[in-house]
Amino acid sequence: MSAPAIKAESHVIDGKAVAAAIIENVKQARDQLLSAVAVKPGLAVVIVGEDPASQVYVRNKGLKAEECGFHSVQHTLSADIGEDELLGLIDNLNEDPLIHGILVQLPLPKHINEKLVIAAIDPEKDVDGFHPINVGRLGAGAMEDALVPCTPAGSVILAKQALGQDLSGMEAVIIGRSNIVGKPVAQLLLQENCTVTIAHSRTKDLPGVCRRADILVAAVGRPQMVKADWVKPGACVIDVGINRVDAPEKGEGKTRLVGDVDFADAATVAGSITPVPGGVGPMTIALLMANTVIAAARASGRPDIADGVKNL
C-alpha cells in the first residue's frame, strides 16, 4: 500500500480575521437596533475572585463590548462573597432593562454552587449559553430561541470557512466531552449534517478514531497531544485548547500558549488548521458580542435585526 499524500503546507485558518468580520456584523446590527427601536445592547460581566487569567478574559470582554458600542458593566466581587449575595446580583441583572446579556466568569470559588448560579440567569440573557434551557434548545435544534455557547459556535464557523459552507456527510470527531465545549460542538456539527463521534479519555485507539475525521476538533486541555499521525491527510483541524507551557527559549521563567494540537507536526498533514493563539480564541469573544446583540434584538421584539449576525 502506498503512503498517503502528505500536504506540503496546510492552510492556516485566520481566526482573527473571521472574528473581525463577525464584529462588523455585530456593529451593523447594533446600529439598526438603535435606529429602529432605540435600544443599545447591554452586557454585564460578573467576576468573583482574583484569578489572573479570568481577570484578563473579563477585561478583554469589556473592551470588546465598548468597541461594539454596547452598554457594558462589570461587577467585580470578592472571592469570599456568599452564594446568596451573588444570586441577588443576578436577580437584579435579570430585572435590569438596560442589560440584555449576563456572563458569570467561570470557574467560581469552591463554596459557590456553579450549577445553581448558571440556572439563576434568565435564559434569554444567558449569553454563555450554559443555562439548561439553552442546552435543551440547542439539543432540540430550536435555534431561533437558543443562545449557543460561544467557543463551540466559533469553532464550527471556522470549520465552515475552511471547508465551504456545506459540511453535509463529513466525518467529524471531537476530542473532549465537556458541557461547555465538546458536547455543544457535537450538537452543532450534527445540525450541519456531519457524522459525529465524541471521543474522550476512555476512548480506545484515539489516534485511529481521529484519523477517520474530515473535521477534527480538539478540546481536551492537554498541550500538543494531537500529532500528525492522528490526522487524516487533508482534514480540517480545529484546536480549541489553550495551554500555558514553559518556554525557556524565551528566557528564564517565561511561558507561551499552545493548543491541544502539535501545530507544526499536524500542519504537515492537515488541509486546514487553526493556530493557537489566533484561531478559536478570538472567535469566542466575537460570538459573545453576537449573542449579546441577538439577545437585545429578541428582547426588543426585532429578532430579525440580528438574524444574520453569525453568517459570513
- Phi then psi for residue 257, to 5 deg, are -95, 135
* Residue 194: CB minimum distance to ligand NAD, A: 19
Q: Looking at residue 261, what DSSP letter applies?
A: B
- Residues numbered 291 to 310 that lie near ligand NAD (CB under 6 A) are none
**Residue among 165, 289, 279 nearest 217 (CA):** 279
Residue 108 found at the interface with ligand NAD (CB under 6 A): no
Closer of 86 and 286 to ligand NAD (Cβ): 286
- Beta strands, E only, the chain: 11-12, 42-48, 71-77, 101-104, 171-175, 195-199, 215-218, 236-239, 243-246, 255-258, 272-273
Contacting residues for 16 by C-beta, under 8 A, at least 6 apart: 278, 282
C-alpha neighbours within 13 Å on the C-beta side of residue 111: 11
Instruction: Give the shortest CB-181-to-ligand NAD separation in angstroms.
Output: 4
Among 25, 284, 291, 292, binds ligand NAD (CB under 6 A): 284
Give the nearer residue to ligand NAD in terms of CB position, either 33 or 230. 230
SS3 25: helix
155-172 burial, b at 16+ Cβ within 10 Å, e below that, comes to bbbbbbbbbeeebeebbb
| Residue 23 contacts residue 286 (beta carbons within 8 Å) | yes
Applying CB under 6 A, does 280 fall inside the site for ligand NAD? yes
Question: Which of 129/182 has CB closer to ligand NAD?
Answer: 182
Residues 239-258 touching ligand NAD, rule: CB under 6 A, are 240-243
Q: How far apart are CA 154 and CA 18, in angstroms?
A: 9
Is 40 marked active-site?
no
The site string for ligand NAD over 194-233 (x = CB under 6 A, - otherwise) reads ------xx-x--x------------xxxx-----------
Is 80 an active-site residue? Answer: no
SS (H, E, C) 219-230: CCCCCCCECHHH
CA–CA separation, 205 and 182 (whole Å): 19
Q: Is 61 among the residues known to form the active site?
A: yes
Q: Is 181 in the site for ligand NAD (CB under 6 A)?
A: yes
Active-site annotation holder among 126, 128, 239, 260: 128
Rounded CA separation 139/242 (Å): 26
Cβ-closest position to ligand NAD = 178
Query: Is there binding between residue 60 and ligand NAD (CB under 6 A)?
Result: no
How big is the site for ligand NAD, counted in residues (CB under 6 A)?
23
Residue 245 CB, shortest distance to ligand NAD, in Å, is 11
Select from 182, 215, 226, 266 the one that contacts ligand NAD (CB under 6 A). Answer: 182
Asked if 22 and 309 touch (Cβ cutoff 8 Å), the reply is yes
Catalytic residue from among 64, 105, 125, 126:
105
Out of 74, 178, 191, 197, the residue judged to bind ligand NAD by CB under 6 A = 178
Catalytic residues: 61, 105, 128
Contact residues for ligand NAD (CB under 6 A)? Answer: 151, 175-178, 180-182, 200-201, 203, 206, 219-222, 240-243, 280-281, 284
